[in-house]
Homo-oligomer: A and B are copies of this chain.
Amino acid sequence: MEQRISLITLGVADLAGARSFYSALGWKQANDDADVVFFQAGGMVLALWGRDQLAADSRVRDGGGWGGVTLAYNVRSPAEVDALLADAKAAGATIARPGAPTFWGGYSGVFVDPDGHPWEVAHNPGWSLGRDGSVSLSSPS
């Protein structure tokens, strides 16, 4: 297995509502299917699909809440963390944790999308963030 992930699918209760939320944050849908939304996200894809359909397709029982997966989005400064959290709130997210210094020496906060999926928004001075948005675990040179 190569060290890569091709697709992350977020199960949603209301596909149109979820699409509107991510659209309000600037994401542009790449497909024109009625029942699934695909966003190109760098070298991978983020999908929105009905949570019941995703559970059935994945052959898992739905625990009904959060299930042990958190996404993160890294930015280039603490001020960018605060700005993005404000944008997410304006788009309809819940701010679960406001921007603040973290125990690991960075600065982050968390927004939760309308379907309960948390996104940490983080500035990590120990990781490199390329011009194309790619993240590298090596320290900035």
> Which residues of A line the B interface, CB within 8 A?
1-12, 25-28, 30-31, 38-46, 51, 54-55, 57-74, 84, 87-88, 96-97, 110, 112, 115-118, 120, 122, 127, 129-130, 132-137
Contact = CB atoms under 8 A, between A and B. Distances in A.
23 contacts: A1-B73, A1-B84, A3-B26, A3-B39, A3-B46, A4-B73, A4-B133, A5-B44, A5-B73, A6-B129, A6-B133, A8-B72, A10-B69, A40-B137, A44-B44, A54-B70, A57-B120, A58-B97, A59-B110, A60-B66, A61-B65, A63-B63, A68-B116
Contacts of A73: 1, 4-6
A39 B132 CA distance: 19
Q: How many copies does the complex hold?
A: 2
Contact of A9 (B39, B51, B72, B136): B72
